[in-house]
Chains A and B, each alone.
Chain A
Amino acid sequence: MRIVVNGEPRMIEGGATVQSVIELLDVAPGARGVAVALDGEVVARSAWERTELREGASVEVVAAIQGG
C-alpha cells in the first residue's frame, strides 16, 4: 500500500505497522531520541509494534538534532 513517510511517498506491505516504518528507515533498535506521529498523533514507542497503518497514512519520524 502507499503511505507517506517524512513527506516522501513509499510503498509498504499491507498490514505494516509503525515498527515496519522504523525498520524501513533503518533505525537501530532502541535508537534514542526518536519519536513518531501517525496522521498528526503521537504514537508511543510501546505501541509501535501494534499500531497498523492504513492506505495513505502519513508518518512523521523525528529525531534529536542540535537546535535552540
Chain B
Amino acid sequence: MDESSVPEHAVEDPLLIGGRQLRSRLILGTGGFANHELLAAACRVAGAELCTVALRRLDPAARGSILDVLDDVGVEVLPNTAGCYTARDAVTTARLAREAFSTDWIKLEVIGDDRTLMPDAVELLAAAEQLVDEGFTVLPYTTDDPVLARRLEDAGCAAVMPLGSPIGSGMGLCNPYNLSIIIERAGVPVILDAGVGTASDAALAMELGCDAVLCASAISRAHDPVSMAEAVALGVRAGRLALGAGRIPRRRYAQASTPQEGRPAFDVQGLAL
C-alpha cells in the first residue's frame, strides 16, 4: 500500500460487523483481571462495547456472575471457544455459548499447540464452515496468514482476527507485512487479536489499517489495569486518527522542513565603500 495515499478512515466511523454497528474499536478481553471490580473499571475507561467471555464447568462456589458485571457496565458479550483443540469441541462450545448467552456471535478459537497457542488452521476452517452453516456470526482467531484469512472470509466469517503475536506474549506485531496484506485484501473487518503488549502496539495495528483491536492481557495483567485500559483505548483512537490523516512516506534521507530560501548570509563581506 502506498503510504502517502490518504485512506478514507474517519475516526468516528462506526465499525460494522455482521450488520451490527460498534462505536468502539477496542474489544476488551476479560481474562486475567484480578477481580470483577477491576474488570468493570477497565471496561468503563476503555469505552468498550464488546467483551469476551468464556465457558467452563460450573463452579458451585463461584460468587457473582461476570454477566451481571458486564450488564452493569452496559457492554455486550462476545463468547469464545477458548481452550478448544478440535473443530468438534469448538462447534459444541459455540452451541453451548449460544444457549448460555442468547447470542449467535462467537469468537472462534481452535488451538493447535499448547506452547504458542497458535490456531490449528485445518480445524479452524472446518469449525468456521460448520458454524456459519448453523447461522452463527463467526469471528475467528487466526494466524497472520493472508491465505487462511481469505479462506475464512470465503467461508462466510463476519470478520477475521489475526494474531499480532502469541496470546499473552505482549510481543506486539511480529509480522506487520502479513497483517497489511490481510488488511489490503479483506472484505470483512480485520481485528487484531493477541499480542498487544502496550498502547503503542494497538496504535500501530490501527495505523496499519486494522478495523479494531482485541486486548486482554496487556490491560488485565498490567500493573495498573485501569490506566492501561485508558492508554490502549487512546492508542486505538490515535492509530485510527493517524490512518485517516494519511502518514507521510518514509524516505531514506532527510527532507528539510524549513525552506532554504530567505536564509540570511553571515559569511560574506559587506560592500567595501
Contacts and interface: CB of A to CB of B under 8 A. Distances in A.
Contacts, number: 101
Given A63-B62, A63-B100, A33 B32 contact: no
A33 B32 CA distance: 19
B55 to A, nearest CB: 4
A54 B170 CA distance: 48
Interface stretch (B90-98, B118-126, B175-183, B256-264): B90-98
Contact of A67 (B65, B82, B99, B214): B82
Contacts of B214: 68
Interface residues of A, number: 26
Interface in A27-68: 27, 31-37, 40-42, 44-45, 60-68
A12 B42 CA distance: 43
Contacts of A25: 58, 60
Q: Which of B57, B60, B79, B101 has the most CB of A within 10 A?
A: B57
A33 B96 contact: no
Interface of A: 6-7, 25-27, 31-37, 40-42, 44-45, 60-68
Interface of B: 29-33, 39, 52-60, 62, 65-68, 77-80, 82, 92, 95-97, 99-101, 107, 109, 214, 216
28 contacts: A7-B57, A25-B60, A27-B58, A27-B60, A31-B65, A32-B67, A33-B66, A35-B99, A36-B96, A40-B92, A42-B92, A45-B99, A62-B58, A62-B100, A63-B57, A64-B79, A65-B53, A65-B54, A65-B56, A66-B66, A67-B29, A67-B30, A67-B80, A67-B82, A68-B29, A68-B31, A68-B78, A68-B214
